[in-house]
């Protein structure tokens, strides 16, 4: 059985959103320079957008693109490298995956971590 439905739940979990927001604040946008899709510069808004991308099936490339586009909209060029964005996207993916796996275990689902 797929963990996809648990990805969506994890993406909407306030604890996961808070953890991802803290990671984005610390590692990507500490000065709140980058605008999120909702028009704010809040890390929680970016976290919700990034988790929404990942909830569709682990698309870290989509997250890298989102981060790059947000940087380029605020600055003459992206501040972070592709590798830095990739590492951040992978770390966020792991946070969401851990939450999805925990949720599936709580419901007794024995699914592979994919």
Q: Which residue has the higher pLDDT, 106 or 82?
A: 82
Q: Which residue has the higher pLDDT, 20 or 108?
A: 20
Q: Does the pLDDT at position 43 exceed 70?
A: yes
C-alpha distances in Å from residue 65, one per residue of 20, 26, 41, 105, 106: 17, 19, 17, 32, 33
Q: For the chain, give every domain's residue range.
A: 4-106
The per-residue pLDDT for 58 is 60
Q: In this structure, are residues 89 and 58 in contact, taking their beta carbons and an 8 Å threshold?
A: no
Residue pLDDT, tens place only, 45-89: 999 999 999 998 768 999 999 999 999 999 999 999 999 999 999
């Amino acid at each position: 059985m797929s963990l996809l439905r648990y990805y969506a739940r994890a993406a909407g979990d306030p604890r996961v959103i808070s953890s991802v927001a803290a990671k984005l604040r610390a590692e990507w946008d500490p000065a709140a320079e980058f605008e999120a899709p909702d028009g704010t510069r809040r890390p929680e808004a970016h976290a919700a957008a990034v988790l929404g991308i990942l909830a569709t099936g682990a698309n870290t490339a989509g997250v890298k693109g989102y981060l790059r586009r947000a940087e380029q909209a605020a600055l003459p060029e992206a501040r972070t490298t592709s590798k830095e964005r990739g590492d951040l996207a992978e770390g966020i993916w792991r946070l969401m995956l851990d939450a999805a796996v925990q949720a599936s275990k709580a419901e007794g689902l024995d699914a592979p971590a994919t």
